[in-house]
Structure 1
Amino acid sequence: MKEPDIEHEGIVTGVTDSHILVRILQQSACAGCHAAGVCSTADQKEKIIEVKRDRTPVQIGDKVVVTLAAKAGHKALWLTAVLPLLLIILSLVATTLAHASELVTGLCALAVPAVYYTILYGYRDRLKKQFTFFLKKTFVS
């Protein structure tokens, strides 16, 4: 059974020859709650998604749906959250087993994700090719 794609509604904010820029409103799970207006835990963030231009006719201000394959979403989760956490735990265990001081253990636990995310940043162009977003234009009746 195929997993459903990850979809976000957005508004086109820019169009170039090669890309379409879409502004989406990323909401936490509780943002839809009736008490979200007074609750300090409900957060919303605006994100700009860069979508490779295809034959979909769009103009600035159009409402669209940005789609990412669920498989790519899982891969992004692993690369940005799970793997760094495992590396931090591994560094803590390794430095503790090596009888390093608490200062060295703590510094290693801070250095590992810094190095990891620096390496990940270096591969951003290659990763962009693996995480392809698609557009679907929404029609308002």
Structure 2
Amino acid sequence: MNNTIKHEGIIERIENGIAYVKIIQHSACSGCHAKAACSIADQQEKIIETVCSGYNIKAGDRVFVVGTETMSRKALRLAVIYPFFCLFGMLCITYALSVNELLSGILSIIALIPYYTILYFRKSKIKKDFIFTLEIG
């Protein structure tokens, strides 16, 4: 069973043993033959930092950025699942306390501010959990 996720990319630059690799993230419908005429087909360029010690590479080389499914699941939890439960939990609590619906919704959204603030201040620790590797292809 393959536990890795690969994206093809091009090395933008290398600094201090870190390779900055540009990948193109495609939407789910990017393989469709009608994507040129479609307004919802999108592509985004992303720059991924990877450790490149021990590789003989230079800017412009094509490589694969490799991550694990564990990293993918953790990213999903941090970006979607935990905020959803924070939002939904706060909505249930405030609505149960007989607060009106509009105020419950606003307070639920405001409850996300501390969550994202904590993520922001812990980004260096979180970044250590998301270490991508290179694969020469």
Structures share fold, TM-score greater than 0.5: yes
State the identity as a percent: 36
Q: What's the offset of the Cα at 1:3?
A: 4.4
Structure 1 residue runs of 5 or longer lacking an equivalent are none
Tell me, in whole angstroms, the C-alpha distance in 2 between the residues paired with 1:54 and 1:93.
50
The match for 1:72 is: 71
The match for 1:50 is: 49
The TM-score, its normalising length taken from structure 2, stands at 0.94
Aligned residue for 2:47, secondary structure, equals strand
Pick which of 107-116 and 28-37 moved more: 107-116
1:3/1:111 CA distance change after superposition, 3 Å: farther
Q: What's the offset of the Cα at 1:57?
A: 1.4
Tell me, in whole angstroms, the C-alpha distance in 1 between the residues paired with 2:10 and 2:104.
46
Tell me, in whole angstroms, the C-alpha distance in 1 between the residues paired with 2:52 and 2:124.
17
Structure 1 runs of 4+ with >3 Å offset:
none
Map Cα deviations across residues 54-92 of structure 1 (whole Å, 9 max, x no partner): 211110000000000111111110111111011111111
Tell me, in whole angstroms, the C-alpha distance in 2 between the residues paired with 1:99 and 1:3.
50
Aligned residue for 2:84, secondary structure, equals helix
Aligned residue for 1:37, secondary structure, equals helix
The TM-score, its normalising length taken from structure 1, stands at 0.92
The match for 1:84 is: 83
Map Cα deviations across residues 8-65 of structure 1 (whole Å, 9 max, x no partner): 0000001012311000000111011111111112111000001123211110000000
Tell me, in whole angstroms, the C-alpha distance in 2 between the residues paired with 1:113 and 1:8.
31
The match for 1:118 is: 117
Structure 2 residue runs of 5 or longer lacking an equivalent are none
Q: What CA RMSD, in Å, does the superposition of the two structures yield over aligned residues?
A: 1.2
Conservation of the 8 A alpha-carbon contact between 1:24 and 1:49:
yes
Alignment-mate amino acid for residue 72 of structure 1 = M
The match for 1:13 is: 12
Alignment-mate amino acid for residue 113 of structure 1 = L
Tell me, in whole angstroms, the C-alpha distance in 2 between the residues paired with 1:106 and 1:15.
46
Alignment-mate amino acid for residue 111 of structure 2 = V
